[in-house]
Amino acid sequence: MRQRVSHALQASIALLGFVVFRALPVDLASWVGGALLRWIGPRLKVSHIARRNLRAAFPNKTDDILETIVRQMWDHLGRVLGEFPHSATLMADPNRVQVTRPDIIAALRDDGRPGIFFSAHIGNWELASVFTLR
């Protein structure tokens, strides 16, 4: 029962966030999402795992540098969340998204066979899936 209530609360918060971000202009939604998670994220328990992993990966970096990386990670995730309701708008703007080989993506889509699409987590990685569905 407790888990059901928790999931319902989480879903309600996610829906509210989606509605609020959708109502904002895309650049403001991106900024607000980044600012919120840059403030909240480092305080979450999961950030301890990120810090531990970063210390293992970069033993020579100072705690200040590692903390900056954690904040940047949360900022990026917040921006992705803020931009998500605007995916169609972002994809329609050639100044925001550049696809260098759309012919390869179209061939994968149209050949009638399953395929795997790899992309880097650079910028808003969710936009790659939006593009492949077109």
Global pTM value:
0.79
Write out the residue range of the structural domain in which residue 14 sits: 2-132
Contact of 22 with 86, CB cutoff 8 Å:
yes
Query: Residue 37 is encoded by which pair of tokens?
Result: 């998670």
Distance CA 39, CA 35 (A): 6
67-111 confidence digits (pLDDT tens): 999 999 999 999 999 999 998 888 888 788 777 888 988 888 899
Amino acid at 129: S
What mean pLDDT do residues 35-54 have?
96
Q: How many domains does the chain have?
A: 1
Distance CA 82, CA 102 (A): 26
